[in-house]
A and B are shown apart, each in its own frame.
Chain A
Amino acid sequence: MEATLNVLSTGDLGISTSTDGVWDKVCLAYPLLTSNELPEECPDDDNVLKEINELKLNTFVEDIVICRIEQIMRQKITPEFWGRFSGRKTEIDGFERFKGAVDYLYSSLASFLSTVEKLEKLRFISRFNRVIYGEDTLLGAFKVIMTSTLLSQLPLTHQVITEDFYKVSFKVFCNTDKSEADQDESTEDVVQCGGCSHEIEHCRCQTILSVFHETNRKLIELDLLERLAGEVITSLIHIRIENHVQESCKGSFDTSYISSLESWLSTVVLGWLTHVYSGNAASTQSSIKKFHQKISHFLYETYTRTRIEQLFNIIIEYPDSQPAVEDLRICLQKTDLRLYLTQKLQRALETRLLHPGVNTPDVLTAYVAAIRALRQLDPTGVLLETVTQPVRQYLRWRDDTVRCVVSSLTEEGPSELADELVRGEALQLDEGTPLDEDMANWETWNPDPVDADPSKTSKSRRTSDIISMLVNVYGSKELFVNEYRTLLADRLLSQFSYNTEKEIRYLELLKLRFGESQLHYCEVMLKDVYDSKRINAHLHSDPNFNLDRQQFPSMAMILSAQFWPPFKEETLELPSFVKEHLQIYTKAFETLKGNRTLSWKPHLGSVNIDIELKDRKINLTVSPTHATIIWHFQTKNQWTVEELSQLMHVPATVLRRKIAFWQSQGMLREVSTDSFLLVEESATRSRCPVAPDMVCEDEETESAMASAHDQREEELQVFWSYIVGMLTNLDLMPLDRIHQMLKMFASQGPTAVECSLQELRHFLDRKVREHKLLFSGGFYRLPKS
C-alpha cells in the first residue's frame, strides 16, 4: 500500500529552495506533517490550498499527508491500541481494557478527521479526484488504512479481552432480561447480582450496559465491529446456545422444545445482538437478519446433535418420549445430520445393547421400541432398516431369541407384542419377489431417501407390523412356529390343566398371522389334550374298566407323538404299584380304542400326594421323579444318591437337583455328602435350618422338549447322507445345484425337511471346517479318503 510513496520521508523532504515558503505553509495547513504527537486541528485558512493548487502540488501534498497518516497509524496508534490488549488480569479487567482501547482508538482517529477534511477541500479546490485503495473518498481510504494497519499487527492473544468484554456484557444482559421476566420469583436473600457479580447495592449492571452500548457504537462507526469482534460474538453465541440447549432438554424427553428454543433465540440472543448493533438502522437490521439465520441454523444443529446423543435413551423410553422424537424428526429436515444419526445410534446400540450382559428379552424390548420410534422419525422405514441391521444380525446369533419372541407373544398381562398380535395383521415377509408399487397413488409418490437399500421395495419398508419385523430377523416362519410348538408343549405338560380355552384363543390369533397350515400341528396337540379329558372321563365312568376300584385314580395325557415336538429322552423306574396302575389304564385304553396301545413317558406327569409325618400333613403336586424319590424314603429313611440312582435309573446329577426340592420343603436333610435322611419331626427340622429358596429355579422352567436347535441339527443330518451320495456320484457340485437336488430328493417322504439356501450354506461351511468337505472355486467335493 505504500508502493507509490515510499521514497518520501517526512521532516527531510528534498524540496527546492524556491518553494521553501510554500512548504512551511503546507506544514501549517497540515500540522501532522511536522508533529510527532496526534494531529492538531487544521487551521481554517484555505488560501494555502489554492496556492498548492496553483503550483500543481495537490497530488504531491495528498500523497505525503496520506503517507504521514499511515506512518502515525503504524508506529503510534496501532501499537498503543494493541498494547492495551495484553496483561489482562480478570474478566472485568479485560472488559475495562477493551473499552479503554476502543475509546483510545476512537478519540485518536477522531483527531485525524480535520486533516482528512482539509484534504477533501484541496481536492474540491483543485477539482481533482482519484481512487486510493479502491475508495474514491478520502474518508473511505482513511478507514481502509486504519483497518488494514490494525489488522496487520494483530496480536495472537487479542481475542482474550474481546471475549471478556462480550462475555461480561452478555451475562449482564441475560440477567437483566431474566429479572425482568420473573421479577416476582426473585428471592430476597440474593446478595450478589447475577449479572455483574457485585453486591446488589453496588450493582454495576447499568454502567456496564451503557459502556457496552457506547463501545459498540464506536466500533460500528469505525466499521470495526465485525472485523474485531464478529468471531468472538459468534462463538459466544454458540457456546451460549450449546449451554442453553443442554440445560433445557437434559434428560427430559416428554416435552417438545423447538418452539421454546426458537423464542429464546429470538428474545434473548437476538435482543443482545440488537444491543450490540445498537440502533435500528437499515444496515443493522440486515446484519441482524443474516446473523439470525446463521445462529438459528446453529441452534437446530445443536439441538439435533443433543437429541441424537440421547437417542438410545429416547428409544428406550418410547412412547413417553414421543415429543422428543417428533422434535428430532423436524430437526432432521432442517439439518444434514442423518448420517451422523445413523452412525451414532448404531454405536450406542452396539455398546449398550448388543453384548452378553443384556438378556434377550431386554434386547427384544429395545428392538421393538426402536422399531416404533424410528418409524415415527422416518416413515419411509429406511432409517429403521439401516440402523437396526446390527440388532437383527445380533438377535439371529442368540439361541433364545425365537423362544423369547414367542413367549412374549403369548404372554399373559400387558405385553407390547401380545397387543400387536391381537391387532391381527397378516404377516409381511421379505420373501418373494418385490411387487410393483401401488400405481393408483402415483401422484403422491415420493422417492426413497438416498440411503435406502435399492434391493428392497419401499412398500416392504413402510409396513408397520412389528411381529413381521421380528419374524424377519430369522426370515423363516417355520422356526417361529416350531418354537411356538415347543413352548406350547411345555406349557401343556407343565400345567396339566385340561382347560385349553386360552391356548386355543392364542392359536387362533397366531393362525391369522402365520397361516392355518403352519399351525396345524399345534391344533392336533390341543385336540389331544381335549380328547384325553374325554377318554379319562369315559374310562372312569365305565365300571368295566376297573379303574375306580384302584388304590388311587390314575389319569393320562395321551399324545399323538407325530405332532408333538420330540421329547427329551429320560428314564425313570416308577414304583411298582404305580406301574401296575398305569398298566391297568393301558389295558382299558386298548379295550376302548382297539388296535391301539400306549407308551408311557414315566418321567412326565403330575402327582398329587398327601404326606403324613409324625407332626404334620402336607399336600403337594410334584413330578413323578419327585414322588418316586420320597416314596423310597417310606421303606428306608436314609438313602445315598448312588443307591437311588441305581434303583430309579435316574442320573445322579438329575437326582441331586430333585432332592434339593425336598430339602427346601424340609422333608430331607443331607447328613453327609450325597446321603440324605428323612426329617420325620419338625423338632429335628428346626435344628437343621431350612432353605426355602433352595428350589432350583430351572426346575420351574425346565423343558420336557428337545431344544429347537437340537431338533434342527438332527433334521439337517438327514441331508448329509444325501449330499455324500450326490458328491460320490457327481464329484463336484456348486451350492445352488446341491440345494436343487436336495429339494427334489430330500423333501419327499415322511421326513420332509425344508432348508433354505442360506442355511444349507452354513451347514456345508461347517462340514468344510470339520474337514468332511472341500470347497474350492465355488464347488463342493468330498475329500479323498
Chain B
Amino acid sequence: MCTTSIFKYLPGWTGVATWRWVANDDNCGICRMAFDGCCPDCKLPGDDCPLVWGQCSHCFHIHCIMKWLNSQQVQHLCPMCRQEWKFKE
C-alpha cells in the first residue's frame, strides 16, 4: 500500500484538442472544401467562416450558400436536395 500522495496538488493541465463542426458530412456540398477549413473566399476558419444549417438538415459554409442563393433568381432551393431552402432556427 502506497502512502505517498504524489499528486498533492495539480497546478494545471493544458491539453491539446482540435475543434470540428458537428455536421453530418466532412465537406461543403457547394465548394467541396472541408467544413473545418474555410470557403474559397475566406482565409480563416471557424468564427470567420461559419456553417449554417437548412431545415432540410443540409449544411454549408455560410458564404457558399449565400452566394448560391443570390445566384438563384426564382426560388431558393437547397443545392443538395432541391427542397426549398430555409435557414434552421
B11 touching A610, Cβ below 8 Å = yes
* Closest chain A residue, CB of each to CB of B2: A637
What's the tally of chain B residues with a CB closer than 8 Å to chain A?
Answer: 34
A605 touching B15, Cβ below 8 Å = yes
Q: Which residues of chain B come closer than 8 Å to A552, judged between CB atoms? A: 9-13
**Chain A, range 449-503, C-beta contacts under 8 Å to B:** 493, 496
Given A552-B13, A634-B6; 9 other pairs, CB 8 A cutoff: A552-B12, A554-B13, A555-B13, A556-B17, A559-B18, A563-B45, A585-B15, A595-B53, A610-B8
Determine if A636 is an interface residue (Cβ-Cβ < 8 Å).
yes
Determine if A240 is an interface residue (Cβ-Cβ < 8 Å).
no
Interface residues, chain A, with chain B CB atoms under 8 Å away: 493, 496, 520, 523-524, 527, 531, 551-564, 578, 581-582, 585-586, 589, 593, 595-602, 604-614, 617, 619, 624, 627, 630-631, 633-637, 678, 680, 749-750
A678 touching B11, Cβ below 8 Å = no
- In the complex, what distance in Å separates the CA atom of A520 from the CA atom of B42? 11
* Closest chain B residue, CB of each to CB of A603: B16
* Closest chain A residue, CB of each to CB of B37: A562
Chain A contact residues, majority secondary structure: mixed
Q: Which of B6, B22, B44 contacts A596 (CB 8 A)?
A: B22
- In the complex, what distance in Å separates the CA atom of A597 from the CA atom of B36? 11
Q: Which residues of chain A come closer than 8 Å to B7, judged between CB atoms? A: 609-611, 631, 634
Contact indicator per residue, chain B 1-40, by CB within 8 Å of chain A (1) or not (0): 0111111111111111111111100010000111011000
Q: Which of A562, A601, A612 contacts B5 (CB 8 A)?
A: A612
* Closest chain B residue, CB of each to CB of A636: B2
B17 touching A557, Cβ below 8 Å = yes
A557 touching B15, Cβ below 8 Å = yes
* Closest chain A residue, CB of each to CB of B33: A750
Q: Which of B9, B23, B43 contacts A610 (CB 8 A)?
A: B9
A-B contact pairs, 18 of them (CB 8 A): A553-B12, A553-B13, A554-B14, A556-B14, A557-B16, A558-B17, A558-B19, A559-B19, A578-B13, A582-B17, A589-B19, A597-B20, A607-B10, A610-B10, A633-B2, A634-B7, A749-B32, A750-B37
- In the complex, what distance in Å separates the CA atom of A558 from the CA atom of B21? 13
B20 touching A561, Cβ below 8 Å = yes
Q: Which residues of chain B come closer than 8 Å to A605, judged between CB atoms? A: 13-16
Which of B8, B12, B27 has most chain A Cβ within 10 Å? Answer: B12
In the assembled complex, the CB of B35 is this many whole angstroms from the nearest CB of chain A, namely 9
Say yes or no: A678-B2 contact (C-beta < 8 A), given A610-B9, A750-B27. yes
Which of A496, A597, A619 has most chain B Cβ within 10 Å? Answer: A597
A630 touching B6, Cβ below 8 Å = yes
* Closest chain B residue, CB of each to CB of A606: B14
- In the complex, what distance in Å separates the CA atom of A617 from the CA atom of B19? 37
Q: Which residues of chain A come closer than 8 Å to B12, judged between CB atoms? A: 552-555, 607-608
In the assembled complex, the CB of B44 is this many whole angstroms from the nearest CB of chain A, namely 6
- In the complex, what distance in Å separates the CA atom of A595 from the CA atom of B60? 13
- In the complex, what distance in Å separates the CA atom of A527 from the CA atom of B5? 39
- Counting from the closest, the 6 A-B pairs by CB-CB distance are A604-B16, A552-B10, A561-B18, A598-B17, A612-B8, A562-B37
Q: Which residues of chain B come closer than 8 Å to A612, judged between CB atoms? A: 4-6, 8
* Closest chain A residue, CB of each to CB of B52: A595
A613 touching B19, Cβ below 8 Å = no
Q: Which residues of chain A come closer than 8 Å to B3, judged between CB atoms? A: 614, 680
A596 touching B21, Cβ below 8 Å = yes
B17 touching A600, Cβ below 8 Å = yes
Contact indicator per residue, chain B 31-65, by CB within 8 Å of chain A (1) or not (0): 01110110000011110000101000000000000
A496 touching B2, Cβ below 8 Å = no
In the assembled complex, the CB of B80 is this many whole angstroms from the nearest CB of chain A, namely 17
A554 touching B4, Cβ below 8 Å = no
Q: Which of A558, A560, A582, A597 contacts B22 (CB 8 A)?
A: A597
- In the complex, what distance in Å separates the CA atom of A199 from the CA atom of B8? 90
Q: Which residues of chain B come closer than 8 Å to A599, judged between CB atoms? A: 17-20
Q: Which of A585, A609, A614, A749 contacts B10 (CB 8 A)?
A: A609
* Closest chain A residue, CB of each to CB of B18: A561
In the assembled complex, the CB of A316 is this many whole angstroms from the nearest CB of chain B, namely 43
B6 touching A633, Cβ below 8 Å = yes
In the assembled complex, the CB of B54 is this many whole angstroms from the nearest CB of chain A, namely 13
- In the complex, what distance in Å separates the CA atom of A539 from the CA atom of B33? 30
- In the complex, what distance in Å separates the CA atom of A604 from the CA atom of B15? 6
Which of B7, B16, B23, B37 has most chain A Cβ within 10 Å? Answer: B16
Q: Which residues of chain A come closer than 8 Å to B21, judged between CB atoms? A: 595-596
A493 touching B6, Cβ below 8 Å = no
- In the complex, what distance in Å separates the CA atom of A586 from the CA atom of B17? 9
Q: Which of A553, A582, A614 contacts B4 (CB 8 A)?
A: A614
Q: Which of B8, B18, B33 contacts A598 (CB 8 A)?
A: B18
Q: Which residues of chain A come closer than 8 Å to B10, judged between CB atoms? A: 551-552, 607-610
